[in-house]
Amino acid sequence: MRDEADGEASGGAWPGDADRRGPAARTGRFADSIESRASWRAVLVAVSILTVSYGGPLILVVGLKPVTASLDSDRSVVALAAAMVWVGTGLGGIVMGWVADRVGARATVIFGAAMTALGLVVSSAGQVWTLYLGNLVLVGFLGGGALYAPLLVNVTRWFDRRRGQAIALMSSGQYVAGVVWPSVFERGIDRFGWQETMFGFAVLVAVVIVPLALLVRPSPAPRQFAVAATGGRHRARVLGLRANLVQALLGLASFLCCVPMAMPAGHLVALCSDLGFPAAQGAAMLSVLLGCAFVSRVFWGWIADRIGGLGTVFLCSACQALAIVAFSITQNEIGLFTVSAAYGLGFSGLIPAYIVAIRELFPSSEASWRLPLQLFTGMSGMAFGSWFAGALYDSFGYYAPAFAAGAVFNLANLMVVGFLVLRQLHRPRVLVEQSA
């Protein structure tokens, strides 16, 4: 991809690369920065698009109980349909990022908006199979995949100094959506029904995102830098282990932590209803959870800059583990609001910290495929976690077993990440060994 080539040519356009080359290199590079007001306009356009598009999957989260009753199915069936959005988006991002490099981000985003709107229309037909088709293929693979990955690539190409901050701000569109839309959907479902609400939001997606996509501008042309030629074959070892083994362990860790991450996000509104609280209170708790996640993301980025990605993953995962245990034993309204806020503060730094860890441990020449792969394993964990919580509820009739299982997954994550952190303490740098 062009962004990868730019990073290699400039000596490392990814966050942190300049710091390893010394003050002289940083001064020269910053003096020739590509960043401008247009760069931040690109971020704001991306945040606006994602704030709308990420509202789509929340309709099934807010309406989990009425949708289940309408379809006369189990809660796990509807939860799986909602989870399919994450699987589709993860897979679609790998494909659509490649497509956007060839046809442009603007065209790809317009296509993604159209597919998201179509997917919501199909899902609103009121059949189980239309929910699966609409969420996995249209809202997920062709919709979310064509929106997030192309926008992310385009935004990174507008930045060379503060790329990490730009990515953090852009990714926060999901949390802004979580603050804005749950209460709106709860009222719409209560007044009009979930199918009408979903259809109406499909119209909103088409009306709002397509014009916003026209504001997506091509990134500046890559700057040319002289680089020294290198040759020879290398066998990379990371933390004293084979590089792909470390990637696999990070992917496993991401899956394990995203399973419990999806449980409160996907079932909090239904949990509140089961405990006798109004649906509006459950939607408000979901907004509090995602709102705290939005606020704390900047904090965790600051921590990652100081202790590194792996250490930040461990701290975030520990906070999430405590909160998921608290969910399993909290039954009152004030307690659930408090735990929701604490949960949002903890889990929000996990995915960005994994990205930082990948960039710290692996060369930038491999980022174009390692980062999407890492994101896909996390989204797969979220999909499984949302379905698994619904399946356990269907078996036991209450959510405590699901949250207990989530705590077990979180503990396994801490063991994997802890192993990597310990190895990093003894081997703080990436080791590249010459092959014979």
Take residue 89 and report the two structure tokens written for it.
């988006």
CATH 1.20.1250.20-classified regions of the chain: 1-19+29-224, 234-436
Phi, psi of 180 (to 5 degrees): -80, -45
Three-state SS at 367: helix
Is the separation of the CB atoms in 341 and 289 below 8 Å? yes
Superfamily of segment(s) 1-19+29-224 = MFS general substrate transporter like domains (1.20.1250.20)
The amino acid present at 179, given as its one-letter code, is: V
Instruction: Give the global pTM.
Output: 0.68
Q: What are the residues whose beta carbons fall under 8 Å from the beta carbon of 349, sequence distance 6 or more? A: 296, 297, 299, 300, 301, 303, 304, 312, 315, 316
Q: Could you give the CA distance from residue 304 to residue 353 in angstroms, rounded to a whole number?
A: 7
Take residue 364 and report the two structure tokens written for it.
């930038």
Q: Give the rounded distance of the alpha carbon of 93 from its chain centre.
A: 11
The amino acid present at 178, given as its one-letter code, is: G
3-state secondary structure 89-155: HHHHHHHHHHHHHHHCHHHHHHHHHHHHHHHHHHHCCCCHHHHHHHHHHHHHHHHHHHHHHHHHHHH
The amino acid present at 164, given as its one-letter code, is: G
pLDDT at 320 over 80: yes
3-state secondary structure 171-227: HCHHHHHHHHHHHHHHHHHHHHCHHHHHHHHHHHHHHHHHHHHCCCCCCCCCCCCCC
- End-to-end CA separation in angstroms for the chain: 30
Provide the angle, in degrees to the nearest 10, between the axes of the packed helices 279-307 and 173-192: 170
pLDDT at 231 over 60: no
Give 101-106 contacts, CB < 8 A, sequence gap 24+: 101/1, 101/2, 101/153, 104/218, 105/150, 105/151, 105/153, 105/154, 105/216, 105/218, 106/213, 106/214, 106/216, 106/217, 106/218
Q: CA-based angle 197:200:201, to the nearest 5?
A: 85
Alpha carbons within 13 A on the beta-carbon side of 311: 12
> Tens of pLDDT along 246-293?
999 999 999 998 888 877 776 766 777 777 777 677 777 777 777 777
Strand partners, 234: 434
The CATH-assigned architecture of domain 234-436 is: Up-down Bundle (1.20)
Q: Per-residue pLDDT averaged across 377-404, rounded?
A: 82
> Tens of pLDDT along 5-35?
343 333 333 333 433 333 333 344 445 677 7
Is the separation of the CB atoms in 190 and 62 below 8 Å? no
Is residue 346 very low, low, confident or very high in pLDDT (cuts 50, 70, 90)? confident
Q: Could you give the CA distance from residue 315 to residue 425 in angstroms, rounded to a whole number?
A: 15
- For position 415, what pLDDT does the model report? 95
- For position 368, what pLDDT does the model report? 59
Select from 212, 209, 213, 240 the least CA-distant residue to 100: 213
- For position 411, what pLDDT does the model report? 93
Q: Could you give the CA distance from residue 176 to residue 74 in angstroms, rounded to a whole number?
A: 30
Is residue 202 very low, low, confident or very high in pLDDT (cuts 50, 70, 90)? very high
- For position 75, what pLDDT does the model report? 73
